[in-house]
Structure 1
């Protein structure tokens, strides 16, 4: 796992860590999902969107902004920085993976996702 190097921004590494820890809690509480930001069928049957099963990025979006589905034109710095930190932690050789592809890999598990979020949060919390 590569250690993320925070870029200068309005969002501090500790704020990113808090978003990532919250995202891990959201997946543990709501459940994990593959293929979309959140389980559309679950939402259509009456579950509030914030309480639906979510993917890795959907959980980060809820943790940062309260909604699993980001506005294309208004993605917050917290979401951008949290996703960048996670991608950096996934970097092994070459380019980091697209988070949706990593989340949706057939052999991926909820435990993998929660572990990645928590490990990245720990790295971002270091002084």
Structure 2
């Protein structure tokens, strides 16, 4: 599962919770697992969903991708951790989905803000280029020749 972005992981985590359910207080539903259901099909908490989306199992050790994703999601809460968030009264499946959807929307907005390119022409050679709002631009033939 290489090449995933934080946004990809958040979207897939929400999809898993939507399809397989939410299990507060632990990475995955232990009763479901003990009954023989594969971990990848068990209800999960937000951390388990992130791990599952990134690595195919809710019980995978933390990696740079999962930690970064957890931090992105945590930024949309007032909780000290996602584990603590899961323990807050009233935080169930619908709130977990809303949290992940809010995070995904924030990540999309951030990506769009960082990538505001517009078509333009190089004033020196007339070649088609793209310019970002902050003045950065793509290279053209006169840049390469210099």
For Structure 1 versus Structure 2, the TM-score category normalised by the shorter chain is 0.7 to 0.9
* One of 75, 86, 89 as aligned partner of 2:76: 89
Partner in structure 2 of residue 32 of structure 1: 22
Segments of structure 1 that go 5 or more residues without pairing to the other structure are 1-10
What TM-score do you get using the length of structure 2 for normalisation?
Answer: 0.69
1:63 aligns with 2:53: yes
1:1-127 alignment, distance < 5 Å = 15-71=5-61, 75-91=62-78, 96-126=79-109, 127=112
- Give the 3-state SS of the residue equivalent to 1:90 in structure 2: coil
Deviation at 1:76, TM superposition (A): 2.0
Query: What RMSD over aligned residues (CA atoms) do the two structures have, in Å?
Result: 1.9
Q: Secondary structure at the match of 1:112?
A: helix
Aligned residues: 109
Structure 1's consecutive aligned runs of 4 or more residues displaced over 6 angstroms after TM superposition are none
Q: Which has the larger radius of gyration?
A: 2
Question: Partners of 2:25 and 2:34 in 1: how far apart?
Answer: 16
Greater share of strand: 2
TM-score when scaled to structure 1?
0.79
Confirm or deny: 8 A CA contact 1:21 1:117 kept in the other structure.
Answer: yes
